[in-house]
Structure 1
């Protein structure tokens, strides 16, 4: 039986309150973003609209890119909160709070309560980990299941109790199965590579039996079969086949416009996970942990970091999401550094001070100058070659002129944190640094995110919402899911209504409203297309096509 004393209970309650204060406010204040947020929310909305919860669809057509677990969670949220932005993002806010409790618990077992708390606040106080728990994407859920699977496996390697080993390997298999149900077999690949490399580093010493390995694999397959098995029985192997083809395309090509250089993920982690990434650098240096279980867990976390980073640097398709699993080892290693410094086991060198001021300066300057450049758009538009992007920036979005203060105040607080740390007031310095980054994330969400959304998709989203009654079809002429979600596409409409070509040239049964980019106007605005141009503004062109007269 697990016993939690009053101090531990207080720490759990503090983390729940901190997580709720950081991750829940303003979840529904901004429209969902194309592509991923709207894509996933649309799949969940269609499950509710169609009543088909066992098959993922987009535009009411089978969608093989993702398995359904995350959509099931979003459906539950939408049943409680309604079909809206808050409900779509609530799942990750909930998992954000759960993640804080999990890393605190694991950290407490590996070191002690102080370490667990440092690990949790490293998540709260780092940019991208904080921001992603306020999003509507799959990765925070997917990553937590993978992390739990690896943690259970590490626990099994360390345990001498046969009953406990059976229990933790079963739990690891269930977590792996849930990860596979969240985003696919890539979860098992990450787990297998991490465990396999760890096993190689201990020279394939016997750390588990064949029976334990089979128990793990059986638990994973049984859990994953909740969807994959039933889907195959009902609809055949088409989902598995298409899903595998899609995964191969992601690995071998820069799919969906996401081809980026090899070093992309290094930069994302370095700056996106500030300040945890800054602290983590120190922990990559060789140091000896006094306890065997600490040595084992450190090794697992470092291996997981390099497995994810190298794998997704090799993969041709690169997005910020793909390296997000590294945030567990990065924040863990950050906690190792802070914990060691606070205990006097790790020295704080001058080079760390220099790195801190450089990281802080670059980060704060980017936040401060961003609104200045957007307000003075005439300075940057001559440098932008994309005609569509230039047109989007012409939209008259309100800027007060004081938005630069977010970055300026942030930098001032970072300087204060730097002074505290340089004077060896580490506890206060770390607290100020992490708190300032968390508050800066919230300020960015409140001040900048709505304006960014207005520039990038505000016009089309409002157009779709205005025409979502069902009297017309609405369709985007570029890749987007906003027309489906905000246009409230209904099941049971004309069987060809999902086909863009039919909407453009076929015998439609009601008017169609199209939204295209100005770069597409030469094609779709041509007389032979038969579309009536309604308006053109801020990068987007709006058309109408009426049914042919009898």
Structure 2
């Protein structure tokens, strides 16, 4: 018991240092984080717990759970970045603890510890645990529902040797063995899935429910013989699973699942349907669920292998162990049912989003605890000298870590200084050259994986396996924390929305009257959060000119390209109130208004801009 408490204390300490340190020190990052934080801020401002809005318009992207958590954060810390992000960090840590207990149940305490540390220090999970998005909440409820299932069907196994579970002789025996018989257990599992539905909709029950169903179907006995070829055995297995599907589906108590969703998530869906005359449900289900699956939205498309490089980066630094982890999961374990369960979890969730038309890196985050569990299983076996793989695999993995460090140093030192055809490389890549000095100063980040990889190789060569793993863990923690805290703070001054919002509020105060602001060719979600009011989005230069000509103090946020279009459209003098490099793309963003003062002769744009001091 003391060891388990010590493990959990270590997990919480490591994750908390990465997630809570300087959590509110940076402004909201566009686009997702700012979208959802703005919606929560508007619900908070209107004291509305039902209808999400963005820019004072219906925002049907997600159900309300994350907005509720952000509202609690706003009550605790104010309407700011810390309030929006706080409970993401809490749920990120909670998911790591759930992963630890899954590892304990399926493998042993050491595997659970390594799995939880891998999850809590990999790049992508750390990012969402420091962001005002739905991902940490969804990952928590899905992982917790699968933990309840695992505790119901897998016997406890601490540090004992694995024992192969015999294949059930019939479908009925399979269902008796792998589907919890107790109604209360299934009700508890579906209740947790229902909360996941409140986080992100139907996938809250589809992803974990299908994971359990796929695992049970994979356990059904197949009529194929040992001497049959691979293709014949595969066809026989598929046929068996198809025939077993109806009985498996019914045994999993679908009516209980429906009742749980209706009881927990149903009241809010009914309330939002009534308050919006069905508009929320039509857009949420029709556009943001079925629509995103069937066709790419907002140009978020990719090939079927899209998530292979995405996971390699998102699960870094622990993705360096991908090959030995895969080999260990496929060939080494004697008790294959436990690894099969985790493989079904990871395979189903990654496969489902791989065939979806719309693809985003965060879609597969519910599979990250499963990837961490598989990694933790191999790390525990290797450190205890129980793995059957070649000794070169760990050294290759640590070598990969060091190589990434070298490439990172070279990239951060070289890219900001390189030019192609007289134009900076960053500009060629669409990145604002104003970032070059700060990016170049971050070259030291590469020394963290470089040093960790080299030291781990030396220790592994000397057969000091545990020390090698703790070295790589320390390097992973330091690298991830450095990227998400130090590097983020270094780049934070380049964000433009907050200073632009402050500029038009100051200008409006000096002008008197209610401030009105619009945007043309530049309308990041964070601008609306920091504006704290409706921002009129204008589609053309003619619309922008007409907007600025209206009554009262009016301001426009635009780009240098938009300014040129507006200059060609209108003969009025344009006053540039603020101008700064666009982040992270090339060009500038500006805050402008029409000059309403009566002067002899119109000033040029350049003269007006020259009167404004440079702001960073």
Greater than 6 Å deviation, 4+ residue runs: 159-164, 205-208, 385-388
8 Å CA contact retained: 1:387, 1:519 = no
Which residue of structure 1 lines up, in the alignment, with residue 459 of structure 2?
A: 420
2:198 counterpart of 1:181: yes
Q: Deviations over 1:22-72 (max 9, x none)?
A: 211011121110101111111111111111121000011111111110010
Q: 1:167 to 1:89 in 2, by over 3 A?
A: same
Which residue of structure 1 lines up, in the alignment, with residue 502 of structure 2?
A: 465
Q: Residue 296 of structure 2 is aligned with which of 254, 258, 262?
A: 254
Give distance in 2, aligned partners of 1:381 and 1:327.
Answer: 43
Q: Deviations over 1:289-336 (max 9, x none)?
A: 455xxx434222212212222222222322221122221111010001
**Number of aligned pairs?**
532
Q: Secondary structure at the match of 2:592?
A: strand
Q: Residue 405 of structure 1 is aligned with which of 408, 429, 444?
A: 444
Give distance in 1, aligned partners of 2:38 and 2:191.
Answer: 27
Give distance in 1, aligned partners of 2:326 and 2:573.
Answer: 60
Which residue of structure 1 lines up, in the alignment, with residue 283 of structure 2?
A: 242
8 Å CA contact retained: 1:96, 1:140 = yes
Query: In the TM superposition, what are the counterparts of 1:110-125 in structure 2 within 5 Å?
Result: 110-125=106-121
Which residue of structure 1 lines up, in the alignment, with residue 363 of structure 2?
A: 322
Give distance in 1, aligned partners of 2:257 and 2:428.
Answer: 54
2:598 counterpart of 1:542: no
Q: Residue 483 of structure 1 is aligned with which of 513, 519, 527?
A: 527
Give distance in 2, aligned partners of 1:381 and 1:462.
Answer: 32
Q: Deviations over 1:512-538 (max 9, x none)?
A: 322223344443342338682516542
Q: 1:362 to 1:163 in 2, by over 3 A?
A: closer
Q: Secondary structure at the match of 1:257?
A: coil
2:82 counterpart of 1:81: no
Contiguous gaps of at least 5 residues in structure 2: 156-175, 221-243, 509-513, 582-586, 598-616
2:210 counterpart of 1:193: yes
Q: 1:548 to 1:59 in 2, by over 3 A?
A: farther
Q: TM-score, normalised by structure 1?
A: 0.87
Q: Secondary structure at the match of 2:182?
A: helix
Which residue of structure 1 lines up, in the alignment, with residue 553 of structure 2?
A: 511
Q: Deviations over 1:116-137 (max 9, x none)?
A: 2121111233222233322222
2:299 counterpart of 1:299: no
2:76 counterpart of 1:39: no
Which residue of structure 2 lines up, in the alignment, with residue 282 of structure 1?
A: 324
Whichever of the two has the greater Rg, that structure is 2
**Which of 319-328 and 230-239 deviates more?**
230-239
Q: 1:526 to 1:102 in 2, by over 3 A?
A: same
Q: Residue 233 of structure 1 is aligned with which of 274, 299, 302?
A: 274
Give distance in 2, aligned partners of 1:348 and 1:56.
Answer: 52
8 Å CA contact retained: 2:381, 2:387 = yes
Q: Deviations over 1:427-482 (max 9, x none)?
A: 11111101101101112234322344444xx2343111333467423333334112
Q: Give the superposition deviation at 1:79.
A: 0.7
Q: Deviations over 1:52-98 (max 9, x none)?
A: 12100001111111111001001101110111112222112111221
Give distance in 1, aligned partners of 2:515 and 2:429.
Answer: 27
Give distance in 2, aligned partners of 1:95 and 1:383.
Answer: 42
8 Å CA contact retained: 2:195, 2:265 = yes
Q: 1:277 to 1:406 in 2, by over 3 A?
A: closer
Which residue of structure 1 lines up, in the alignment, with residue 105 of structure 2?
A: 109
Give distance in 1, aligned partners of 2:274 and 2:590.
Answer: 44
Q: Give the superposition deviation at 1:101.
A: 1.7
2:538 counterpart of 1:500: yes
Which residue of structure 2 lines up, in the alignment, with residue 371 of structure 1?
A: 412
Which residue of structure 2 lines up, in the alignment, with residue 265 of structure 1?
A: 307
**Which of 310-319 and 78-87 deviates more?**
310-319
Q: Secondary structure at the match of 2:298?
A: helix
Give distance in 2, aligned partners of 1:185 and 1:531.
Answer: 53
RMSD of aligned residue pairs (Cα, Å): 3.1
8 Å CA contact retained: 2:39, 2:52 = yes
Which residue of structure 1 lines up, in the alignment, with residue 144 of structure 2?
A: 148
**Which of 429-438 and 114-123 deviates more?**
114-123
8 Å CA contact retained: 2:409, 2:444 = yes
8 Å CA contact retained: 1:388, 1:519 = no
Q: Give the superposition deviation at 1:260.
A: 3.1
8 Å CA contact retained: 2:324, 2:378 = yes
Q: Secondary structure at the match of 1:226?
A: helix
Q: Residue 220 of structure 1 is aligned with which of 223, 241, 261?
A: 261
8 Å CA contact retained: 1:128, 1:272 = yes
Q: Deviations over 1:193-239 (max 9, x none)?
A: 32332233123396686483322331123211132122223433221
**Which of 515-524 and 477-486 deviates more?**
515-524
8 Å CA contact retained: 1:397, 1:454 = no
Q: 1:335 to 1:102 in 2, by over 3 A?
A: same
Q: 1:192 to 1:14 in 2, by over 3 A?
A: closer
Give distance in 2, aligned partners of 1:530 and 1:316.
Answer: 46
Contiguous gaps of at least 5 residues in structure 1: 491-496
Give distance in 2, aligned partners of 1:118 and 1:408.
Answer: 23
**Which of 529-538 and 166-175 deviates more?**
529-538
Q: Secondary structure at the match of 1:542?
A: strand
